[in-house]
Amino acid sequence: TKTPNPPPEVKRRVLEEIINARLTAQQATKLGLQVKDAEVERAIQNIITQNGITLKKLKEDLIREGSSYEDYKDWIKIQLLKSKLIGLQVQSKVTVTDGEIRKYYQAHIDEYKGYTEYYLRHILLPFPSTDEDKKRLIYVQQEILRLLKEGISFPELAQKYSQAPTAKDGGDLGWIKATELTPEIRNIVTLLQPGEISPWIKTHSGFQLIQLEKRREVPDKTFSEAKEEIYRLFYQQKMEERYRQWLTQLREKAYIKILL
C-alpha cells in the first residue's frame, strides 16, 4: 500500500522548520559559532538524566517514532546553535520590567494561593475481561485487605499485586495536589488521615487502593517569592518572539522559493 501524502499545511510546516534550521546554521557559520560533538553528547546526557531513561531506551523510542539517533543528534545540534545565536543576537535586546512581573502576578493571583498536598501510594488492579478474571479480581482485592489487616506493609503489597508502573516503587505516587486527582479519588483522599487506606475505588484505569502517607500545607507564594519564576516565564516568551522576528529578517534577506 502507498503511504498517503501529508496535507499541504503539514508539508509547509515541515519545510518551514527545515528552512529555519538551515538559516540558523548558515548564520551561525557566518558568526563563527560552532557546536562540538562533546556539547551535543553532554546535552543528550542531560536530557536522559532529567527524564530518568537510558540511552538505549532513547534510541528505541526514536526508532518507534520513525526517527534515528543521528537525526536526533542533528536536531540537538541545531537547538544548541539556536541557543548560542539567541545569546549573541537576541538576548541583549530582551528586557522584562518589574511592572510587567507585578501585573502578571496580580492577574494570576489564584495560581499563587496556598494549597494542600498529599503523599500517596496506590495499588492498581485492571478491570476484568472475563468472568474468571472477575472472580480472580474479587479474590485479590479481599486478599490484599486481609494481608493489610495482618500488618503486611502497603508498599510490599503494591510491589506484589499492583499492575501500575509504580509497583516497583511500592506504589509511590509522591506529593500530589488535590486538584491533580480525579474526582472519585480526590473525594476520598481528602477525608483520609495520614496512615489510613481508602476502600477500593473504581477509576477510569481500574480499581485502586490508596494510602495517604502524609499531608502538608503549602503556603501562599508572595510576590517576592514568585518574582523570579515570572521573570523566567516572560524572558523565555520574549526571547522566542525576538528569535522569530530575527528569523523573519533573515528570511527577508534570503532568496527562498517553496514549491508545493
Instruction: Supply the CATH number for residue 210's domain.
Output: 3.10.50.40
Task: Note whether residue 258 is domain-resident.
Answer: no
Is the pTM for the entire model greater than 0.75? no
User: pLDDT value at position 45?
Assistant: 93
* 81 and 163 both lie in a single domain: no
Beta bridge partners of 216: 117
Number of domains comprising the chain: 2
| Cα-to-chain-centroid distance, residue 160 | 28
Does residue 260 lie within any of the structural domains? no
Does the residue 187 lie in any domain?
A: yes
- My answer on whether 88 and 120 are in the same domain is no
pLDDT of residue 6: 60
Contact between 173 and 120 under an 8 Å Cβ cutoff? The reply is yes
Residue 137 lies in a domain: yes
Residues 158 and 238 in one domain: no
Taking the C-alpha atoms of residue 250 and residue 16, their distance in angstroms, rounded to an integer, is 13
Instruction: Tell me, yes or no, whether 259 lies in a domain.
Output: no
**Are residues 45 and 97 part of one domain?**
yes
At 5 the pLDDT is: 61
Axis-axis angle for helices 37-51, 69-85 (nearest 10): 100
One domain for residues 23 and 42: yes
Does 228 share its domain with 214?
Answer: no
Q: Say if residue 232 is in the same domain as residue 200.
A: no
Sign of CA dihedral 176, 182, 187, 193: negative
Assigned domain for 109 exists:
no
Instruction: Judge contact between 148 and 140, C-beta under 8 A.
Output: no
120 and 197 together in one domain? yes
CA distance 196 to 210: 9
pLDDT at residue 255 in the model: 55
Nearest CA to 26 out of 38, 16, 18 is that of 18
Q: Nine-digit cell at 51?
A: 527524564
Whether the CA torsion 223, 229, 233, 238 is positive or negative: it is: positive
For residue 228, what are the domain limits? 8-103+224-253
| Element at 43 (helix H, strand E) | helix 37-51
Tally of CA atoms within 13 A in the half-sphere of 49 that contains its CB: 6
In a domain, 76, yes or no: yes
Helix then strand count (H, E) for the chain reads 9, 4
Are residues 121 and 38 part of one domain?
A: no
C-alpha cell belonging to residue 208? 485502586
* Tens-binned pLDDT, residue by residue, of the chain (260 aa): 444 566 677 667 777 777 777 777 777 778 788 889 999 999 999 999 888 888 898 999 899 888 899 999 988 988 888 788 777 776 677 889 999 999 999 999 999 999 999 999 999 999 999 999 999 999 999 999 999 999 999 999 999 999 999 999 999 999 999 999 999 999 999 999 999 999 999 999 999 999 999 999 999 999 999 999 999 999 888 888 887 887 787 777 765 544 44
Length reported for the chain: 260
Domain match, 88 and 138 both: no
In a domain, 108, yes or no: no
